[in-house]
Amino acid sequence: MRYLLISAISLFALSGCGGVPSSGGEKMEFSLPGLDGEIYTLSDFNGKVYIIDFWATWCGPCRLSIPFLKRLYGELRGKGLVVIGIGLDSEPALRSFAEQMEIDYPVLVGTREIAIRYKIRGIPTMFIVDEKGKIIDRVVGYAPSVEGKIKNRVLELLE
């Protein structure tokens, strides 16, 4: 699975797929299983500000970004922020990793199709989405320097 995803991401980069999924009215709906046994759809989060985080267990920058997302979620979930992790790994690998990292937001089992639909070219990739479902920002990769930008953007949307 890991090598399939790496190949798929390489293919996206070589084929020139890029840009942000449509934020002009077309909803990037999905229906994915969560590690908690529930099925999640994007419409479950209508009316909320949320971050969709595409990641994988073998991704070094993903391992660094998840503690930041946990802190942000812990700080702002009372104000309405939702974080949705979409893991691009096998369910057993995601389950073990989520338990080890004590991830307390929904972790969904991603698919190749959802990665293609969202034009994922590298991970982690985070989408910041407003309460109307419009993608406000896309952050590819992770460095501590992006934390302030993400937090400020989310705070603006929550006001």
Q: What is the mean pLDDT of the chain?
A: 86
Q: Is the pLDDT of residue 146 over 70?
A: yes
The band of 1, judged by pLDDT with boundaries at 50, 70 and 90, is: very low
The band of 28, judged by pLDDT with boundaries at 50, 70 and 90, is: confident
User: What integer is the mean pLDDT of 18-25?
Assistant: 40
Separation of alpha carbons 24 and 153, rounded Å = 19
Full 3-state SS string of the chain: CHHHHHHHHHHHHHHCCCCCCCCCCCCCCCEEEECCCCEEEHHHHCCCEEEEEEECCCCHHHHHHHHHHHHHHHHHHHHCEEEEEEECCCHHHHHHHHHHHCCCCCEEECCHHHHHHCCCCCCCEEEEECCCCCEEEEEECCCHHHHHHHHHHHHHHHC
**Taking the domains of the chain in order of start, what are their residue ranges?**
2-7+49-158
Which two structure tokens, joined as six digits, stand for 67?
Answer: 């503690």
Domain 2-7+49-158, CATH class in plain words: alpha beta
The band of 116, judged by pLDDT with boundaries at 50, 70 and 90, is: very high
